[in-house]
Amino acid sequence: MTIATSARAAVFERPGTALSIEELTVEAPRPAEVLVRLGASGVCHSDLHVLDGEWETPVPLVLGHEGAGVVEAIGAGVRDVAVGDRVILSWFYPCRRCRACASGRAWACTGTRAGESVLDDGTTRFRRADGTDVHSYLTVASFAERTVVPEAAAIRVPDELPFDVAALIGCGVATGVGAVVNNAQVAPGASVVVVGCGGVGLAVVMGAKLVGADPIVAVDVEPAKLELARELGATHAVRGDGDVRSQVAAITGGGADVAFEAIGLVPTIELLPDLLTPGGTGVIVGLPPTGVRASIDVLAFAEAAKTLVGSNYGGAVPSVDFPRLARLYLAGALPLDRLITHRVALDELEEAFAAMRRRERARSVVLYDTDGA
Ligand SMILES: NC(=O)c1ccc[n+]([C@@H]2O[C@H](COP(=O)([O-])OP(=O)(O)OC[C@H]3O[C@@H](n4cnc5c(N)ncnc54)[C@H](O)[C@@H]3O)[C@@H](O)[C@H]2O)c1
Ligand SMILES: [Zn+2]
Ligand SMILES: [Zn+2]
């Protein structure tokens, strides 16, 4: 297909203003790109960081980075996916050319421009009626009915996988489960603490249950989140506004083997080392505003030989991890649909973000009309 199409999309202009729902022109995919008709997009806190001005991005920008849909057209030379394939979009994809990719460390790839919210040639496929270019958040832009992504960012999954579950695999689930299995490599029977049980933290809880961690201690300030965490595998629930340190110490017998922070707040990031047993590992999954620094008690940290690791996209290699997570869902080992508490329309996004600011809802998912897709 060589002609342009169009899509309703939620466009971000600047912090403090509402997303505008607009009809954009979507240009045809160029070589090594694919046009995807979205089936669903999750609402992740990373979009909220942008909306609230905590991270800088180019504007105007179609937000959304947790999406899944169906390939509607392919550019020249595309071999990995075909029209009609169901795909999960990846906000990190390997260039397959750089040294990191060539040496099997695709997650360290430096060869794409996804971080600039432009395609590899520095341009974007979204246009306003007045001809203005509109950026594509992390080259995913899943708050749109259609989007053009690099071939390597569209990962094929089975047709039986529902769009809403598929979307969540594209960020929150790959991040949360990946933090457990890839970054921390949690062993069966290891004690785990998860601080923050939103969409990402609950995926950490599920990952911990999947690998047989025990106990699994969920920490959150919202009782509803703790209740859901328990249903999804947490063995203990601790109120985040209480004395988390002593309660975690009592439950784990002196400190956890692995503790995850899945909020992005300085006080809870600084709490991580205190929740660990000597030799334990703290995993930073939550992301704070740009430039924020945190401190640790260095002597205590070094003497107890603790480890702190950063986790980006759960250390996932999307082409390997997305199909694997899909299979685990389809086999009943990861009840990912339980993360979805609200299914909404594109023009209900503002309310979904407002609820997230109020710490309500596990995951809201935008559903698109895919009739006739
Ligand atoms: N590292 C990565 O690759 C990656 C990927 C995706 C998201 N993230 C980040 O992970 C974080 C979580 O994302 P999310 O979509 O789950 O967000 P969310 O808003 O759905 O969840 C945050 C949770 O933290 C809880 N919380 C807030 N303050 C708390 C406190 N003081 N103590 C205990 N609990 C508290 C809230 O009740 C909520 O349940 C965000 O910072 C997001 O940007 C990181
Ligand atoms: Zn995300
Ligand atoms: Zn690369």
In-domain check, residue 177:
no
The verdict on 159 and 22 lying in the same domain is yes
pLDDT value, residue 2:
60
The verdict on 39 and 166 lying in the same domain is yes
CB count in 10 Å sphere of residue 158: 12
Two structure tokens written together for 233: 């595998």
Tally the domains of the chain: 2
* CATH number, position 343: 3.90.180.10
Cβ proximity of 259 and 280 under 8 Å: yes
Is the C-beta atom of 21 inside 6 A of ligand 1?
no
In-domain check, residue 179:
no
Residue ranges of alpha helices (H) inside 124-255 are 163-168, 174-178, 199-210, 223-231, 244-252
- Separation of CA 122 and ligand 1 centre (Å): 31
pLDDT value, residue 373:
47
Distance CA 310, CA 284 (A): 5
Let me know how long the chain is. Answer: 373
CB count in 10 Å sphere of residue 310: 10
- Burial of residue 30 (number of CB atoms within 10 Å: 0-12, 13-18, 19+): middle
The verdict on 11 and 33 lying in the same domain is yes
Rg of the chain on CA atoms, in Å: 20
The verdict on 119 and 10 lying in the same domain is yes
DSSP per position, 224-241 = HHHHHHHHTT-SEEEETT
Is the C-beta atom of 183 inside 6 A of ligand 1?
no
CB count in 10 Å sphere of residue 332: 7
pLDDT value, residue 370:
80
- Separation of CA 196 and ligand 1 centre (Å): 6
The verdict on 155 and 211 lying in the same domain is no
Ligand 2 (ion): residues with CB under 5 Å are 44, 46, 171
The verdict on 73 and 219 lying in the same domain is no
- Out of 43, 44, 356, give the residue to mutate to test ligand 1, the one with the largest number of ligand atoms within 8 Å of its CB: 44
The verdict on 299 and 324 lying in the same domain is no
Beta bridge partners of 42: 365
The verdict on 154 and 265 lying in the same domain is no
In-domain check, residue 178:
no
In-domain check, residue 372:
no
* CATH number, position 226: 3.40.50.720
Burial state string for 98-136 with b = 16 or more CB within 10 A and e = fewer than 16: bebbeeeebbebebbebeebbbbeeebbbbeeeeeebbb
The verdict on 127 and 13 lying in the same domain is yes
Which of 261, 280, 310 corresponds to the end of one domain? Answer: 310
- Amino acid at position 155, single letter: I
In-domain check, residue 73:
yes
The verdict on 276 and 359 lying in the same domain is no
- Separation of CA 223 and ligand 2 centre (Å): 23
In-domain check, residue 256:
yes
In-domain check, residue 373:
no
Which range of residues forms the domain containing residue 39?
5-171+315-367
Cβ proximity of 153 and 293 under 8 Å: no
pLDDT value, residue 240:
96
pLDDT value, residue 364:
98
The verdict on 61 and 195 lying in the same domain is no
In-domain check, residue 46:
yes
Q: Mean pLDDT, 10 residues at a time, over the chain (373 residues)?
A: 87 95 97 97 98 97 98 97 98 90 85 92 95 96 98 97 98 98 98 98 98 98 98 98 96 98 98 98 98 97 98 94 98 98 97 98 95 55
Q: Chain centroid to CA 302: how far?
A: 31
Helix axes 199-210, 223-231, angle to 10 degrees: 30
pLDDT value, residue 371:
67
- Model-level pTM? 0.97
- Amino acid at position 258, single letter: V
The verdict on 143 and 87 lying in the same domain is yes
